[in-house]
Amino acid sequence: MSTPKSYVLIPAAGSGSRMGAELPKQYLPLLGKPMIHHTLSVFCIHPAISRVFVVLSPDDTGWERYDFSGLGDKVEVLRCGGATRAETVLNGLEAIAERAQADDWVLVHDAARPCLTQEMLDNLLVTVADYADGGLLAVPVADTLKREGSDGRVDHTEPRAGLWRAQTPQMFHYKLLRAALRASGTDGPTDEAQAVELLGYAPRLVVGDGHNLKVTYPEDLVIAELLLKNGNDK
């Protein structure tokens, strides 16, 4: 029996409207390169990763404007992005059906998380390797959580014990992830782990790092730049 391969799938078909920028979020400049370049580079240099699939919108016009040749030959573009994240990921999985085996691993990672480190990736790969239900990077919730009531007022405080903030990558066997997304529908799950949970599985929580932030608002881009300049303090 052959050793399962590890593929990465980057859904990058969204517009990133909350950034208030004309460019799709993944192409915003970060240290002289589009943000997605930094996101991809971590996977491209890791020896355990066989291929990195970037799933773009069919009408994306941004990719060809940049030079990604420095990333090597692992990156492959799939122009089959959908209207939602779940649809984009599922379309990407269907597009590689002829190459991926049932037990191969697929790591889904946000295009807008450019500060993932080799250490975080290693931790996920090693921890989840023998766990059939898959797993994801996540960090325990540290802030006090308030549930909003009417008129913008606090209804009550949510207990934070046992709560985690999900990050990416999220890592699952190809067959399981495709089945989960097919079953859950493309409008339902907000991440891959939720789709897998809906099938009755319990993905493993792997302690991540707060530096693995998702760039959502303009100020996040400033923080990401500082982290990358300082090597994530690692």
CA–CA separation, 120 and 75 (whole Å): 20
| Of the candidates 120, 119, 115, 217, the residue with the CA atom closest to the CA atom of residue 170 | 120
Check: CB of residue 137 under 8 Å from CB of residue 40.
Answer: no
Structure confidence by residue, pLDDT tens digits, 90-120: 999 999 999 999 999 999 999 999 999 999 9
pLDDT on residue 138: 98
Q: How confident is the model at residue 151 (pLDDT cuts 50, 70, 90)?
A: confident
Check: CB of residue 144 under 8 Å from CB of residue 163.
Answer: no
Please give the structure tokens belonging to residue 119: 């250490």
Q: Which residues contact 149 (CB under 8 A, 6 or more apart)?
A: 155, 156
3-state secondary structure 117-175: CHHHHHHHHHHHCCCCCCEEEEEECCCCEEEECHHHCEEEEECCCCCEEEEEEEEEEHH
CB atoms within 10 A of CB 82: 18
In this prediction, residues 180-205 reach a mean pLDDT of: 93
DSSP 70: G
| Of the candidates 233, 230, 222, the residue with the CA atom closest to the CA atom of residue 29 | 222
CA–CA separation, 27 and 45 (whole Å): 21
Q: How many residues are given for the chain? A: 234
Structure confidence by residue, pLDDT tens digits, 27-37: 999 999 999 99
Which domains are assigned to the chain?
6-132+167-201+210-233 (3.90.550.10)
pLDDT on residue 202: 98
In this prediction, residues 148-176 reach a mean pLDDT of: 94
Answer positive or negative: Cα dihedral of 80, 81, 86, 89: positive
CA–CA separation, 53 and 10 (whole Å): 6
The tokens 């517009």 sit on which residue? 15
pTM of the model: 0.93
